[in-house]
């Protein structure tokens, strides 16, 4: 297995629109591990499109419990189970993740029980371990270390940036956050910083299209990071590549990739990737775009 990052779903927010991208999820393959980061709607489709056998599901990490990051967690695991999953799966998430999983199991109890009896499947409830984490080191095993940093995403308090370190590379995910300078220290020297990004010129049109008016705009401005601010974090951190992800807006036909690039280039001259569904990023490819 070669080391790679696959951006399975690239848009910020839970709404989907005809022909548009899907909400946030990523796949990190590193050190022989397949790690799913966040499970927005479409993650199962994204993994199969990336040629990942669902029955090889191993490790899932959830950054926070907004629906565009966790809505398809249960359906992903259940679908993997129907595809032949028989090995244990660990899910790391903030407080509340265990309640989500138990609720999903309760909702699907009829289907799970009847498939165990009728199809001879192992008990899904015994295959999945949910571990709730907070800030600091989450685990270190077989040369892979995972650490978390609490970021600023009001009104959500349990929202965490993630850092994966291995001999094959270091990758940091900002999660959803307002501009948060301490993230630069957390991401220091990483090969890739995957940072959420918002484009100022698209905010008013997004609000008008979605509804909720002033309240939605207030949330966006208080809880998310403009692309040029994400670039400033990357610059201070000295990362190898900046990946703008969880794009807001991601499905505005008047917004082009060149506008994202121009915003980032105000503060970042290094290697740059603008997320798109299914896009593959090599971990240690430091060529500039």
CA-CA distance, 37 to 27, in Å (whole number)? 6
β-bridge mates for residue 161, sequence order? 149
Contact by Cβ (8 Å): 167, 143 = yes
Would you tell me how many other CB atoms lie within 10 Å of the CB of residue 200? Answer: 12
Where residue 38 falls (left for φ over 0; alpha for ψ -120 to 50; beta otherwise) is left
Among candidate residues 38, 58, 68, 176, the one labeled active-site is 68
Question: Is 38 tagged catalytic?
Answer: no
**Nearest alpha carbon to residue 245 among 214, 271, 276:** 276
Query: In this structure, are residues 26 and 11 in contact, taking their beta carbons and an 8 Å threshold?
Result: no
**Distance of alpha carbon 48 from alpha carbon 8, whole angstroms:** 10
Helices (H), 67-108: 67-70, 73-82, 97-107
Contact 144, 137 (CB under 8 A): no
Question: In which residue are the tokens 């669902």 written?
Answer: 54
Query: Which residues are catalytically annotated?
Result: 68
């Amino acid at each position: 297995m070669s080391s790679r990052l696959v951006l399975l779903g690239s848009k910020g927010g839970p709404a989907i629109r005809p022909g548009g991208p899907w909400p946030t999820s990523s796949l990190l393959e590193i050190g022989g591990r397949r790690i799913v980061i966040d499970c927005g709607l479409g993650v199962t489709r994204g993994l199969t499109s990336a040629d990942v056998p669902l029955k090889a599901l191993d490790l899932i990490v959830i950054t926070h419990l907004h629906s565009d990051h966790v809505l398809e967690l249960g359906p992903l695991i259940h679908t993997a189970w129907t595809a032949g999953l028989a090995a244990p799966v660990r899910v790391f998430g903030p407080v509340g993740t265990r309640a989500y999983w138990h609720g999903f199991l309760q909702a699907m109890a009829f289907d799970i029980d009847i498939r165990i009896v009728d199809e001879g499947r192992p008990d899904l409830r015994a295959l999945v371990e949910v571990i709730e984490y907070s800030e600091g080191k989450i685990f270190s095993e077989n040369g892979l270390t995972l650490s978390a940093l609490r970021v600023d995403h009001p009104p959500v308090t349990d929202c965490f940036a993630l850092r994966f370190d291995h001999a094959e590379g270091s990758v940091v995910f900002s999660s959803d956050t307002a501009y948060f300078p301490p993230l630069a220290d957390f991401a220091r020297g990483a090969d890739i910083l995957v940072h959420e990004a918002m484009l100022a010129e698209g905010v008013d049109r997004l609000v008008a299209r979605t509804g909720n008016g002033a309240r939605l705009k207030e949330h966006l401005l208080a809880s998310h990071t403009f692309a040029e601010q994400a670039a400033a974090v990357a610059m201070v951190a000295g990362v190898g590549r900046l990946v703008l992800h969880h794009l807001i807006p991601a499905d505005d036909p008047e917004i082009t990739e060149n506008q994202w690039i121009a915003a980032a280039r105000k503060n970042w001259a290094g290697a740059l990737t603008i997320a798109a569904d299914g896009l593959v990023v090599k971990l240690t490819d430091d060529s500039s775009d």
